[in-house]
Structure 1
Amino acid sequence: MKKLGLLILFCLQFSCNSQVEKKINGISFVSSRDKVTQKNIAPILAINANAASVMPFGFIRDVNEPDLIYNSDRQWFGERRDGIKHYVDILHKNKMSIMLKPQIWIRDGKFTGTLEMKTEEHWQKFEKKYSDFILTYAALAEEVNVDIFCIGTELEKFVLHRPDFWSQLITDVKKVYKGKLTYAANWDEYPRVPFWKSIDYVGVDAYFPLSKEQHPTVDQLKAGWQPHKKALKQMSNTLNKPILFTEYGYRSMDFTGEKPWLVDRNQTKVNLEAQSNATKAILEMFWAEDWFAGGYVWKWFIDHDKVGGEDDNRFTPQNKPAELVLKQYYGFK
């Protein structure tokens, strides 16, 4: 009965606040080699999602390498401009809002937050490449009328060391794209981003540590959220801007709330309930708040029937109990 009461309260709060601003109930749509069809979109609609993040990629060899490769014929279809346009077109036909979120991939999956050039010459070369990369997709964002454009993802050292570049980049993006802007800051980076006042959403990749329990309960995870939620609300109030979870999600494994950012190939025991509990906790903690815009769950593959499932300890909620949690909460009106 207690859980039912909390759910009813959540529904009432969500309904009330949804009248203020429609929540972004989003998925992070993973780039693929292939084009998509309505068959690939149907499972997204089935969980009541109303938004998708689509992600073109640029590639770098190492954290000190200034050369950025993007929109190349050697990339997968969904990683380059023509693929992104195709994805956006079919998602728009299904009345979904879109965030276009260009991202960098560093060889071997090295963390983009450590990207840092060693010389001024290399910084300038890299900045030119990055500006061209972002402006290419900002122009596409305007062309296909996406709702939100993200100017970068988890680039802490680049942001902190080169603030003048980012100020100019924002100015240049606004010349070609007239929609709303965000930046996807890592969970421990967002308080130090210097340019929030110049863009529309405080974007956060919400992999906050919440619990060291092997099998965390919803209540334990919500308790772990308390200090982070307080800080996020304070940031929103100070800047008078909504918080947007540009990514959020949990792996379906033991200790999922301890280090939610882990993207390694560890074989930690599958724990579907832990992922489900963590998904419930974040939705119940944030989606009813009027200062919170919504978010995009990480991550959603186009071949729904072939991914996720009971033996998978990765992030995707597909074919797991967490998918039903999303369907339930994303379905609140």
Structure 2
Amino acid sequence: MKTLKLLFIGCVFLGSSCTSQSNKINGVSFVASSKEITTQHIDDVKKVSANYVTLMPFGFVKSLSSPNVIYNSQKQWFGETKEGVKQYAKEFQQSKIKIMLKPQIWVWNGVYTGTIKMNSEDKWRTLEQSYEDFILAFAIVAEEINAEIFCIGTELEQFVKSRPEYWIRLIGKIRKVYSGKLTYAANWDEFKRVDFWEDLDFIGIDAYFPLSNQKSPTLKDFEKGWQPHKNEVIQVQSKFNKPVLFTEYGYRSVNFTGEKPWDSSRIDGNVNLENQQRALQALYNQFWKEDWFAGGFVWKWFYNHKEVGGQKNNRFTPQNKPAEQTIQKMYEKSK
């Protein structure tokens, strides 16, 4: 009894260090589809021991200088609409899987959202109102479905940098309609310059950090590549004293996957399943043991599990690849 008492006291003084391997957000980024989902689609998520999913309704803009966000349209896939989000959330929650709702902007032709920037004050004001309408609409949905986390934006560096006061006001408006926890998904090279982390609950990072320029790095190579980036993450975390959440993380099953992990260019062949597996294991080794690290959402997971991924697939999905077992083992260990 005395030993147990001393252990309990030690845990109190050390914070969460006694359980640093457990209670992480073990998430998958669940891609919307054109149809409703069923327990069949959720069973495959449960098999990797995920306890969270990201649901991602999209808003569309026509160009980097277009100020109008189009969303909840009949032309969109069901899972990207308000009705679809609610249906997906209900199915996942019945299986005790929690939700992060992460509305995202898509620039037509897939242009990088971080460079969205208006060329006049009038356009900026139009964008601000249009984006606010988009985000608040889904913040209300997040409250209705009892989503645990709501992400206020994804990789919008120039928008954030150019209109800082707007974002502070927007966070206040979101909190009036949504009572859960908030984050923002900063790109890996953006998170150090975000000024409003103190107003959110998590420091959110889309963690596509470059780790190695080798064709097939070893696990040790990948972990070595993490060191300068991890130190920067620790510095920002210490400054704001907020837990870090990898709002996205993942690697393609290709050669040189650690060189530009964000690269989604379509290429044929060049499959390297072991690269994907080792890169994921290195990330888990470096972060999942840390008390200040909340967890993350692997990119990306499709509803039709048996028909995607596989031994010849070089995309991000870990489905039906060795990486799927790597994720399952780590998530099982830390759930």
TM-score range, shorter chain: over 0.9
Consecutive unaligned residues in structure 2, runs of 5 or more: 1-15
Q: 2:333 matched to which residue of 1?
A: 332
TM-score (norm 2): 0.94
For the Cα contact (< 8 Å) 2:47–2:328, is it kept in 1? yes
State the Cα distance separating 1:97 from its structure 2 match.
1.3
Q: Do structure 1's residue 110 and structure 2's residue 91 form an aligned pair?
A: no
Q: Distance in 2 between matches of 1:244 and 1:60?
A: 27
Letter in 1 for 2:124: W
RMSD over equivalenced CA pairs, Å: 1.2
Which residue does 1:147 correspond to in 2? 148
Deviation at 1:236, TM superposition (A): 1.1
Whether the 8 Å CA contact 2:206–2:249 is kept in 1: the answer is yes
Alpha carbons 1:254, 1:268 under 8 Å: kept: no
Matches of 1:58 and 1:237, distance apart in 2: 33
| Matching residue of 1:179 | 180
The answer as to whether partners of 2:21 and 2:288 remain within 8 angstroms in 1 is: no
CA distance in 1, matches of 2:105, 2:236: 27
Listed one character per residue, the Cα deviations across residues 265-293 of structure 1 (whole Å, up to 9, x for unaligned) are 12350000000000100011100100000
What CA distance in whole angstroms lies between the structure 2 residues aligned with 1:268 and 1:154? Answer: 29
What is the rounded CA distance, in whole Å, between the counterparts of 2:281 and 2:255 in structure 1? 16
Give the Cα separation in 2 of the matches to 1:16 and 1:140. Answer: 33
- Does the C-alpha gap of structure 1 residues 50 and 15 become closer, same or farther in structure 2, counting only changes over 3 Å? farther
Where does residue 135 of structure 1 map in the other structure?
136
> Matched residues in 1 for 2:17 and 2:60: separation?
40
Mapping 1:113-128, distance limit 5 Å: 113-128=114-129
- Residue 212 of structure 2 aligns to a residue whose secondary structure is coil
Aligned-partner Cα distance in 2 for 1:281–1:138: 34
CA pair 75-172 structure 1, distance change in 2 beyond 3 A: same
* Structure 2 counterpart of 1:4: none
Distance 1:253 1:283 in 2: 19
Within 2, Cα distance between the matches of 1:267 and 1:183? Answer: 33
% same residue = 52
- Say whether residues 1:198 and 2:199 are aligned partners: yes
Q: Give the Cα separation in 1 of the matches to 2:98 and 2:104.
A: 19
Conservation of the 8 A alpha-carbon contact between 2:269 and 2:312 = no
Task: Report 1:52-67 matches (<5 A).
Answer: 52-67=53-68
TM-score w.r.t. length of structure 1: 0.94
Distance (whole Å) between structure 1 residues aligned to residue 246 and residue 85 of structure 2: 21
1-structure distance, mates of 2:42, 2:65: 38
Matches within 5 A, 1:228-267: 228-267=229-268
SS of 1:316's equivalent in the other structure is coil
Please list the CA deviations of residues 113-169 of structure 1 after superposition, one character each: whole Å capped at 9, or x if unmatched.
Answer: 000011111111111110000000000111110000000000000000000110110
- Specify the code of the residue in structure 2 equivalent to 1:161: S
Q: Which runs of 5+ in 1 are unaligned?
A: 1-12
Indicate the SS of the match to 1:318.
coil
Paired residues, what number? 319
Amino acid in the other structure paired with 1:16: T
Distance in 2 separating the partners of 1:31 and 1:99: 14
> Which residue of 2 is the match for residue 10 of structure 1?
none
How far, CA to CA, are the matches of 2:39 and 2:217 in structure 1?
37
Aligned AA for 2:253? S
Q: Please give the secondary structure, in 2, of the residue aligned with 1:164.
A: helix
Looking at structure 1, the residues matched to 317 and 77 of structure 2 have their Cα atoms a distance apart, in angstroms, of 20
Q: Deviations over 1:20-50 (max 9, x none)?
A: xx20000000011011011101111001011
Distance 2:161 2:63 in 1: 19
Give 1:17's aligned amino acid.
S
Tell me, in whole angstroms, the C-alpha distance in 1 between the residues paired with 2:72 and 2:185: 21
Runs of 4+ in 1 over 6 A off after TM superposition: none
3-state SS of paired residue (2:131):
helix
